[in-house]
Structures are given as structure tokens and as C-alpha cells.
Amino acid sequence: MALSATTANLFKQCGIYDEFVSISKFASVIDICNERRKSEYKIDFHGHDKISPGTHSLGKKVLSMENGGNGVLIRCSDGSEAEGDILVGADGAHSAVRQNLYAKLLKDKRLTSSDALPLPFSTVCLVGQTRPLTSEEFPDVALDDCQFRKIVGDNRPYAWSTFTTKQKTVCWMCSLYLDDDSSKVNDAFKNSEWGPEAAQTMAAQVRDFPVVSGGDRKLTLGDLIDWTPKEFMSKVMLEEKVFETWYDCRTVLIGDACHKLSPAGGVGATTAMHDALVLANLINGLPFHPIASEIETAFAAYKEERLHWVQDAFGASKIFRAMTGQNTLAKVTRFCMRNMPQWVFQQGQKRATSNRPQCAFLDLIEDTGSVRPAHQPSLTVKAPEDTTPTIPSGSESEQVAVVV
């Protein structure tokens, strides 16, 4: 997972920043290589509380939901139900919350034509993480900084990357980029779960792809696959789409549930965290026992604040994906990246890294970044003053959020 300055303030507010840093390696350069293991150019980025036990349930699968003016109810596959004031669909690209929400909107003829279309598949991705390696096996693991190397295939629609970790493992990813025809073929075999079962066939197809180890050994993806425990290797179909509908009534979507980005950009997790932060600020500012219209107003403000950042991230991710293809656009993109003046690249990075939101209801962190943080509307949202009598022990407040 790639994290940047855009989440640093949030992690500091939550008291987990130092722990993240302690188990991580800094990656300041992406080295773009060819199949001859030679570097063609580099993308240089230099210059730039935990969940309490008992507050969440695992192993739940949402089957249906009812979303109305008086509340929201979900029914799960194990027969259990949960109800509350707000339902947040944070359940990924194949979100059951989104599917139930869109089914109701479609029935009411309120779903946009774009949102009614299926997710377009663009990438087949094989990922893995090796066991801890020695510097003799993979010299790059001995270096202090994360060695992030991406190899673009010669006349084949593949690109693959390696990343070294603090634990001396190598994380690797091999992506097959689909065109319109191959997307239709692979769509018949799509699977929405990360798991090792679907990985073996693709692993056999890419074993001879060369990787850069940092030493004289000419290793391939096959070596990394052999060093990877089966349970640490997965294959998945990946999609790209920004949905138009993010909320309705008391239900709202965040992360992959409303915008699925290509992994080539490396900002999917960060974008989802920013969604959660902004939404939390706005929920915190709701009046006690809010009515549906007040909740929906907060959801509208959440989308308005986040949409342009999501669209920027979506566009940047598409550029990084295009950069590793074999068509004319990909070749032009690589030429532009290779010859782009540093000041132009830095301007783009300044805009991206200026998005450093913070939680309005936690102690604010002094931002010492060299780039001024962008305006964050939700940071000014304040919680209402509680003038209601103290709720007796054993009673329940109606201000409940159900997060899936």
C-alpha cells in the first residue's frame, strides 16, 4: 500500500503515524525499466486511534437494505439485522450496498444511465508478497529506501512492478492491460474476491518476465513466485469508473464503492481514506437526531468536496495505466513523461499533495509542509452543542451509523 503526505496529518491525529513509519520504507523514486533490465527514466518524488474491540462485526454479508425517512435497515446472510440513522457503503467495487441502492433508484426511475451500466474491466492483476529474503537472494532488500521498479513489456500488454519492504520481503504485481476485445473475453471469467485459487494459471504465463534485483543475478517473476507462499498470491479483475450517484436519503457510498481507480496510480487507498475523513467531519456536524433531509444535505456537501479530487486521481491513474501499454497513446505518454520538464512535474505534484485533510473533531496538527494545504470546507464544520438531558445507562442514542 502506497501512502503519502496526504494522509500524514490524519495518521498523526489518530496517533498511528509513528507506527506506520516504523514498519515502512520510504519510496522517493519510481524506476521505469525495460525487459533488458535497463532503466529508461525515473519519476522522482524528492521534495515533497485504533478501532476499539467490540465496535465492529466481521464476516457479515449484506443481502438487502431498506432506506427510508425514518431510518435504514440491513439484512445479512446469517439472518441478522442492523438498523440506524445512516448506512455507509464502504464495501468495495462490488458493493452490495451500492447494488441495493441502485436497484431501488432504478425501480423509481431515478438512476442515471451511466450508473446503470456494468463496471468496465481494464486490468487483470496478479499480486504477491515473498517470504523474507536475504541480500544474496535479492540485493535490493538490504537498501534503506524502498526500491520501486516498474518494467514495461516489450510488445506485449503487460507491466510488472517490485517493491522492497521493511520486513525484507518483495511485494510484486503483474498487470495485464485489456483492450475492448480482451476485456469481453476476461469478463466471462471475472472474480470479485482476492484469493490464491485463481492465480496459478496466470502465474505460469508470466514466469519468464525479467525483474531487477539490484545485483548481478538475472531473476524473473518465476523466482519471486517460487518464494511467495500460495496464500500470499492472488489474482483479480480490476475496473475503473467514477459513479455519478454517491448517496440517497440515509445511505452513502465511499471509496471503491463509488469510485474505482486503476492500481497503476497507487492512490486508491488514500482516496478512500479522504472520503471517510470528510464524511466523518460532516456527520459529526449533524444536529442531534437528524431528519433525512439534513443527512442528505451533509452527503451532498461530502460529494461536492470530494468529487474534483477523485476526478483528478482518476485521471492521473489512467495516465499511469496508459504509460505501460503498447499502443500509440502509451508510447506518446512515455515520451512525454521521459521529457517532461521537472518544474511541470512538480506543479502537478504540488496540487496532488496539497490535499491534506484533517479531522475537525480531533486535535489539529500543525502542517509544516512546503506546499500550502488546500482549502478543506469540512474542517470548519463543528459538532452541535448537546443541550439534551443525559441519557440513562442502558438506553440507546438514536445517533447511530452502520458501516459496512
The burial class, CB within 10 Å (0-12 / 13-18 / 19+), for 222 is middle
Under DSSP, the state recorded for 220 is B
Rank 120-124, 252-256, 321-325, 388-392 by mean pLDDT and report only the highest: 252-256
Q: What is the mean pLDDT of residues 228-232?
A: 93
What is the rounded distance in angstroms from the CA atom of residue 166 to the CA atom of residue 100? 41
pLDDT above 70: residue 60: yes
Span 112-154, pLDDT tens digits: 999 999 887 878 889 999 999 999 999 999 999 999 999 988 8
pLDDT above 70: residue 325: no
The pLDDT of residue 192: 44
What is the rounded distance in angstroms from the CA atom of residue 338 to the CA atom of residue 126? 27
What is the rounded distance in angstroms from the CA atom of residue 258 to the CA atom of residue 238? 14
Of 352, 383, 386, 354, the closest CA to residue 369 belongs to 354
Q: Side chain identity at 17, as an amino acid letter?
A: Y
Confidence grade of residue 19 (pLDDT, cut at 50, 70, 90): very high
Q: Side chain identity at 15, as an amino acid letter?
A: G
Confidence grade of residue 87 (pLDDT, cut at 50, 70, 90): very high
Rank 33-42, 75-84, 301-310, 324-333 by mean pLDDT and report only the highest: 301-310
Of 178, 134, 136, the closest CA to residue 156 belongs to 178
The pLDDT of residue 341: 81
Strand 39-44: give its sheet, edge to edge: 39-44, 29-33, 148-152, 158-164, 170-177, 121-129, 233-239
pLDDT above 90: residue 103: yes
Of 23, 86, 19, 90, the closest CA to residue 50 belongs to 19
Strand partners, 170: 164
Percentage of the chain lying above the pLDDT 70 cut: 88
What is the rounded distance in angstroms from the CA atom of residue 4 to the CA atom of residue 21? 11
Span 268-287, pLDDT tens digits: 899 999 999 999 999 999 99
How much is the pTM?
Answer: 0.78
The pLDDT of residue 187: 52
The pLDDT of residue 199: 85
What is the rounded distance in angstroms from the CA atom of residue 275 to the CA atom of residue 297? 16
The pLDDT of residue 58: 80
pLDDT above 50: residue 398: no
> 159-173, 189-203, 208-222, 246-260: which range is least confident on average?
189-203
Question: 239: which 3 cell numbers?
Answer: 475496473
Strand partners, 71: 68
pLDDT above 80: residue 323: no
| Residues sharing a CB contact under 8 Å with residue 368, sequence separation 6 or more, in sequence order | none
**Phi–psi pair at 92, nearest 5 degrees:** 85, -175
